[in-house]
Structure formats: C-alpha cells, structure tokens
Structure 1
Amino acid sequence: MASGKTVCVTGASGFIASWLVKLLLDRGYTVRGTVRNAEKSKHLLELPGASERLTLVEADLLKPGAFDSVVQGCDGVFHTASPFLYRNFTDPDAQLIEPAVKGTLNVLESCAKARPKRVVLTSTEAAVSHTDKRIGADVVDESYFSDPDKCRREGDWYYLSKTLAELAAWDFAKQHNLDMVAILPVLVVGPVLQTSMNTSTEIVLELLNGTTQTITNQVVGWVGVKDVAMAHILTYEKPEAEGRYICSERMLHFGDAVALLAKLYPQYHIVAKEDGSVPRDPGYNASSEKIKKLGLTFQPLEDVLRETVASLKELKYLD
C-alpha cells in the first residue's frame, strides 16, 4: 500500500482515469486530479477515500504552466488527458492533434520542473499498429510505431494525434531525463463510473440497441478498463518497468465481437451485419506479454462485456 504518497492524474474524470483514481484511492494514495469541468467530475468525489485523499483542480490542458502547481510535490504523475474522437469532428488539427501534442508537452514541462519519481503516459495501441512494417507480421509488439504520414494520408486522425503525442513525449522525456513509461491499450470497454457516455462504451451500446447496422471489417483489440487502470499503477509502482506496454486481452474481428455479444445477450436487437462482398480483414495479434510479466492478469472479455452491459443498464442506457 502507498499511504502518504501523493500522485497526480490528469483528465481525472475520463473513463480510464476515473477507474485509475478509484484504484489509487483504494491503495491508499493521496490523489490530485485535474479536470476540465468540476461539475462533470462529481462522481469522483463519491469514491471511497475521496473525502480524505482526493483533490480536484480545474486545469486547461493547452495553457502553459497550468499544471506546475498541481504536479509539484507529487511522487508520480499519470497523464491520461487527451481527446478520443473517431467521428463528428470538423477540424482534426484543432480538435485532436493540437490538444494531444501540446497538452502532453505542457504536462511534461511541469513535470520537468517538479521532478516526480515517474510519469505514466496513457497512449494507445493505435500508436503501434498503423504502419506498413506490420504487413506480413502475425504479431506486433512495443517496438512498432505507427507511421504519421500513413495516418495523415488515410485520414486516421485519432491514430495520428496519439502517435505524434507519444513521439513528442519520448523526445521530451529523453531531453529532460524524465523517467517515463507509456501504456498502450486497445479498445477499452467495461463498467462506467462517470455519468456521461464515453466513446468506447458507446460502440457496445450502439451495437446492442440496433443503432449500428454495418459491422466494420476490422480486427480490433479488446480490454477491460479496470485492467488498463491497474496497468498504469503496476508500471508506476514497479521500479523495473520501462518503455511501452501494450494492453490487450484479445484481438477479435468486429464480426466475432458482435457474435459474442449476441450470444451473451440474445434479448437485445442486434442488427449489425457484415459486408459479405469483401474478404474479411485477417488482422494481426498485439502482444501483451510485457505487461503480463509485470504481474497483470487480464479479466476475460466475456466478463468485461457482462460488466459493461450491467453498467449500461444501471445508467438507464439499456432496459
């Protein structure tokens, strides 16, 4: 346990970050969470231990120096704040890339002054796999980096934002001798702590309620949110942790994921169909061996999906 240690979590009201805050409080940490909107972060104040050991601070990710006082005196900093949009945006540079890159560098500049023991950066497996080097490879690992030019050419703006942010972070950490590790989760699902819907859980919801009618021809990694939060903590607490850590319970074609949901929940009207006129994406596997060696045991996807649906029912998104 970590009684007495103070850590900072940026973007504390987000899907992964909310669970990270909960698990940190459970382990005895004192947590400073930065949020954009305190009104939308009230669920954090109801967590066990929050009244004694959680402070929420409004901070603008793009304002230089906004994180100086927050990270000062912290033993560790978890930088999770970054937009996750894969649709409904009009200006990818302003809405995705600038907040991801500039926001990350702003936080790291504050860390360079405060000198925490370790910084844990929330990146994504999307910063690994979008590269032509993957062609022909059955398994990708942490040595791969997505190709920014390929991302831009193909309009994969979220992939681009996270790849550029992570590359900039590693450059900065090296220049300023910061001890940094990066967590690279695949598609994160699981029970929701916040009251608003998040992007990845909405994918599951829209399959179950019939909104999604066409199945994306893509193989995607799936992982539970509690495991991703625990991966952050393990890489912070274990001195031997270094570099990047992919977090994936399994890789599944979207069609197989839909079939699994339909098997678990036959009562819901899942209408999504695959386009049978094109060959199925053969996909690849993303190795999580490195994070397993640190002691992480993944919750089976079936159990994660059950908890996701139970949470959606509790929040009245599903009957």
Structure 2
Amino acid sequence: MGAGAASMKEKNNELDQGEKADVDENPAGAAAAVVPSPDIPGEESPLAAYKRIFRYAGPLEYTAQAVGIVAALGSGAGIALQNLIFGRFVTAITNFSSGSSSPAAFRSDSARLALYFVYLGIARFALSYVYNSLFTYAAYRIVRNIRLAYLRAALHQEIAFFDFGIAGSIATQATSNGRLIQGGIAEKLGLTFQGMAALVTAFIIAFIVQWKLTLICLCIAPATMLVTGVVAGIEAGYETKILEIHAQGNSFAETVLASARTVHAFEMRARLVNKFDEYLTEAHKIGSKLSPLFGILYPHARARRA
C-alpha cells in the first residue's frame, strides 16, 4: 500500500511539473485558457450602422418614410418661400413710405401678400403634421422590430456570455438604445430633410434675387457644417460611452437587488453602494466633457445668426 501511494504521488508530481512547463512555454495560451474572452463582432462605421437600422423596416414603413420625406422637403421649401414673401412685404412698405406707391396699391399688395402668408402657413402646417406623424409611426414599428430581434438574439446566447458582465441589462439596453434609435429616425430625420430642402431652396432664391450678395454669404455655410459635424461626432462618442456605463451600472444594481438577503447578511451594503457610485462618477466625468462642446457649438450658431 505504501509503494502504491508513493507511485501515485510521483505521477501527480510529474503531471504538475508538466502543466507548469506548458504554462512557462506558452503563457499567452495559459492566460487565454484561464480568462476566456467573448466573441464580440467588430464595430461598423456610423453610416453603415445607421443604414442597418432600416433593414428592420417593411414595405409599410418604407412607404410611410417615402411620403414623409416628400412632405418634409415641401415643408422645408416653404420656409425659404416665407422669407421671400416677407421680403416683398417689406418692399411694399418701403415703397409706400417713400411715396412710390399709392395707398390703394399698398392695400392691394398687403392683402395679396397676407393671403400668401396664410396659404403658406396652412400648407406648412399640413406638411409638417404629415411628415412628423409618418416618421414617428415608422420609427415606432422599426424600433419594435429591433427590440424583438435583440431579445431573440439575447435569449439565443449561451449562459457563459452573461458571466462576462459586458452585456448589461437586457431591459436597459433595449429601452435606452431603442429610445435613441427612435429619436434618430423619427422627428430628427424629418427635420434633417426639411433643413436640407430649406437650405437648397434658400440658395436658389438668393441666387435668383441677388447673386453677388449670396456669393459673399456662401463662405459661412462650409464653416458652419464643419463645426457642427465635428462637434456632433465627438458628442455622439461621449453619449455612447455614457450609455454603456449606465448599462453596466444598471446590470450591477439588478444583480445586487436580486441577492438582497445575501448582501444584508454579509453587511456588504456600503461596499456595493460605493461600487455603484463609481459607475455614476465615471459617467459624470464623461458627461462633463460635453459642456465645452456645447460652448463651441452654440456661440458659433449665435455668431452665424448675427
């Protein structure tokens, strides 16, 4: 019995020495075996990720968005035409004040231009209501499909995936990300098309009315678009980091609340609260970086308007 035990002990020592030798020869492989990493796909470009959202739309959503885009373009063109009508109204007042037009002509021009304002306001109200309603409805259905696909993909993951602590709370991710997606493809998308139509129409009218002054003012547009694009890109990166930190904090809080009895039994409340405060502090540090960006963006917008 003593000889058998000694033989088994020698074999165990040989196995331990072999394992240590393997670790020394291949430390990276040993680390990978001890700490596995999740299989996370690579990040897409912002434009590709934005386009991928619309893959979850159906024929009804595409039709609603197409009609909404046409309505938004018409509403944007109405903004530029409103300035044109107002300019003509100012011209009519100037001509009457200088004595170039008679009171009857002034009243006739004022009544006609006032009717133009009324007709344009009714048209813009109808077009704005149409594109806001259609984009909001389409965004709601697209986000619903995305949340369903996200939940289906989450439930198809292995249990080990959630042990890494990177997935965050499924409910938080679905709610927060869904809200961001819905905001980006609903009213904001309509406002984007409306602004583009207003910009193009305004430049067309300006070149027709006074092309020399338009060329002078044209140099402001590239600077505005450059500053806005850079600030918006940096802000989006910070917002993404804040959302990820909040998701991790919410997942941590859900785990703690699920084992509240154990936490209370081992007197771990203070340590866990401090751990949760670390998530909030980190998110606050990143959020404080947004203030200088807004400080760059809004004074630039005010200077442009001035």
Greater helix content = 2
TM class, shorter-length: under 0.3
Which has the larger Rg? Answer: 2
Structure-1-length-normalised TM-score: 0.25
Higher relative contact order (CA 8 A, sep 6+): 2
TM normalised by structure 2 equals 0.26
Bigger share in strand: 1
